[in-house]
Amino acid sequence: MSDSKSVRPRRRFWGWGLDSDALSAAEVAVVKALMSRLGAASAETRAPPQESDFALAAPRVRPPTSLADSFSATPHDRLNHSYGKSYGDSVRMWARELPNPPDWVAFPADEQAVTDILDWAHRANVAVVPYGGGSSVCGGVEPAVGVDYAASVSLDLERLNRVLEIDHSSRAARIQAGALGPELEAQLRPHGLTLRHYPQSFQFSTLGGWIVTRSGGHYATLYTHIDEFVQAVRMVSPAGVLATRRLPGSGAGPDPNRLVIGSEGVLGVVTEAWMRLQDRPRFRASASVRFRDVFTAAGCVRALAQSGLNPTNCRLLDPEEAVFSGVGDLPNSLLVLGFESADHPVRPWMERALELVRDHGGEYDAAAVERSMHPPESDGEGEHRKGAAGAWRDAFIRMPYWRDPMVGMGAILDTFESAITWNRFEEFYRVVREEVSDAIRRVSGRPGRVSCRFTHVYPDGPAPYFTYAALGTDRGDFGASLSAWREIKLACNELVTGLGGTVTHHHAVGRDHRSGYELEVPATYREALAAAKASLDPGGILNPGVLIDPRDRAVGITGVLGPRVR
């Protein structure tokens, strides 16, 4: 058990990306400019964390030798599986604060090994934390604090990363849950098929993680979450396997898939799923539309969302967000609008959408729209990166890479997303920006930046995604930054749920959103879910502290416990 069972390129244990990744010169310049805009005296970073900075205690238990092929306790594996990738995770690494690493990391080679690990853990009172790709930004993949377990194991399905079966006529594939985005797309591409699920974490998140966190993906409308693409799912729980049937639709009782989807690893470990796929798109059209007023722009987005045109892309960036994304044109808001199809030219769709845009006073470069439709693009490797939306999407994928060095420079950077009905949107947008700015000023003593985009839109409301940046401290006091961030986080949870929104549109609840989740979701439902968990995980070993935790009712936030409830 002394060697790592990981076969993937080494991840940077303290932040986003691989050990070998680096920022480009242009990105370094952006980081410096951002730090300067935040008012930082300099853009010097502290020395990044190294493995030797951390003294890990020996594992508290030893797994049975029959499972030796799965387990690893190398410092890199344990460090890499200690936290997710939130700001709170990053700053704790910069602070070298790691009181509670997993004792072991398990890399099962097949589903039987998953079952065996859960059986052992159930008997031995060992907490099991399903790790997915480890990209959680809400405290979803770290061992519990404050509860007595004999030990904790982080469960990484990286060895279960294959596309096992393809049903061309139904356009579906059976895919192992440990497959990262690029891994599964590479296996589907030769068949002309694609899942087309591109969360920002695409490179470092897994199918299983997407399913249990209700990941938000590529499509701005209609198929906003992974949910709709799950045809059937297979989950191993301590009580046995829960495998749903491949069905295009059903009305037989509450949908069993929907209990698994969003369960955040507390009910079982998803090992594989039959996923609904798409043909690779051949026809596209895109437009970049400017609006002088953000609420006028939102009115246009509402009309588009209610039109039945179902644009693939319909992302509205408010003025501050457009600047942050490097595509700003102050004081304008920017709408990135796109259609795609594998079946038919999308010109009629785009033409009607542009009529709505003009009705709402949006301005765009008609020639550029025309160019986006000629010729149909080739079906190549980077096909989803081209067109008017391409520059924005490239920047989007790279955003997490910038954060870690900025954390080292003393910045506090975080995002939170919600969804709200249209009738409440204007108040929501105004109040959230004001109150978050106030919270930043209150806890950090300085003004911050708050920006917003719509990641997804619905006929009944948008999903606003807020980004904020603040300067925690110039003096590298990461503990103070962590405290400030926690306070802002809890304020955001209370704010968005208090205004009628959801505490998370697609980042999941984890630990960090539980204080909002308890306000948002009725106690009767949480009790019913806890009862379902007790049925599937009678020992309460799975991902303790996350989502609901019948054994420890404290509402925590990354690294600390909050007040006890009920």
Residue from 259, 317, 411, 492 in contact with its own copies (CB under 8 A):
259
CB of 334 within 8 A of CB of 314?
no
294 binds its own copies (CB under 8 A): no
Name which of 222 and 561 has its Cβ closer to its own copies.
222
- Are 264 and 521 in contact by the 8 Å Cβ rule? The answer is no
Q: Is 296 in the site for its own copies (CB under 8 A)?
A: no
Q: How many CB atoms lie within 10 A of CB 450?
A: 21
Question: How far apart are alpha carbons 497 and 456 in whole angstroms?
Answer: 18
| Residue 412 binds its own copies, judged by CB under 8 A | no
Among positions 339-368, residues that touch its own copies (CB under 8 A) are: 341-344, 348-349, 352
421 binds its own copies (CB under 8 A): yes
What DSSP string runs through 374-413?
Answer: SSPPP--TTGGG-STTHHHHHHHHHHHHHHHHHHHTTEEE
Which residues in 2-21 contact its own copies (CB under 8 A)?
A: none
Stretch that binds its own copies, among 44-52, 155-163, 338-346, 476-484 (CB under 8 A): 338-346
**Least spacing, CB of residue 376 vs its own copies, in Å:** 15
Q: Restricting to residues 153-172, name those near its own copies by CB under 8 A.
A: 167, 169-172
Q: Binding to its own copies by residue 215, rule CB under 8 A?
A: yes
What tokens does 319 get? Answer: 């003025």
Least Å from the CB of residue 165 to its own copies: 11
Closest of 288, 291, 318 to residue 449, by C-alpha: 318
Residue 472, CA distances (Å) to 127, 297, 434, 476, 484 in order: 34, 33, 19, 8, 7
246 binds its own copies (CB under 8 A): yes
* C-beta of residue 205 within 8 angstroms of C-beta of residue 180: yes
| Residue 462 interacting with its own copies (CB under 8 A) | yes
Q: Which is nearer to its own copies, 167 or 394 (CB)?
A: 167
| Residue 10 in tokens | 């080494």
Whose Cβ is closer to its own copies: residue 381's or residue 460's?
Answer: 460
Q: Is the dihedral of CA 431, 432, 437, 442 positive or negative?
A: positive
241 scored as a contact of its own copies (CB under 8 A): yes
- Count of alpha carbons within 13 Å of 394, Cβ hemisphere only? 11
- Give ∠ CA 166-170-173 in degrees, rounded to 5: 30
Residue nearer to its own copies on the CB measure, 433 or 506: 506
CB 441 within 8 A of CB 448: yes
Site for its own copies in 386-405 (CB under 8 A): none
For its own copies, the binding residues in 500-559 under the rule CB under 8 A are: 500-509, 513, 516-517, 520-525, 527-532, 534-536, 547-548
Q: How far is the CB of 238 from its own copies (least distance, A)?
A: 10
218 lies in the site for its own copies, by CB under 8 A: no
Q: Among the residues of 170-223, which ranges form H helices?
A: 181-188, 207-213
Interaction of residue 308 with its own copies, rule CB under 8 A? yes
- Binding of residue 244 to its own copies (CB under 8 A): yes
Burial class (CB in 10 A: 0-12, 13-18, 19+), 330: exposed
Segment contacting its own copies (CB under 8 A): 128-136, 139-147, 221-229, 398-406? 221-229
Task: Verify binding: residue 452, its own copies, rule CB under 8 A.
Answer: no
Task: List the beta strands (DSSP E) in 401-448.
Answer: 411-417
Least Å distance, CB 74 to its own copies, is: 33
Give the interface size with its own copies as a residue count (CB under 8 A).
98
Interface residue with its own copies, options 78, 85, 218, 225 (CB under 8 A):
225
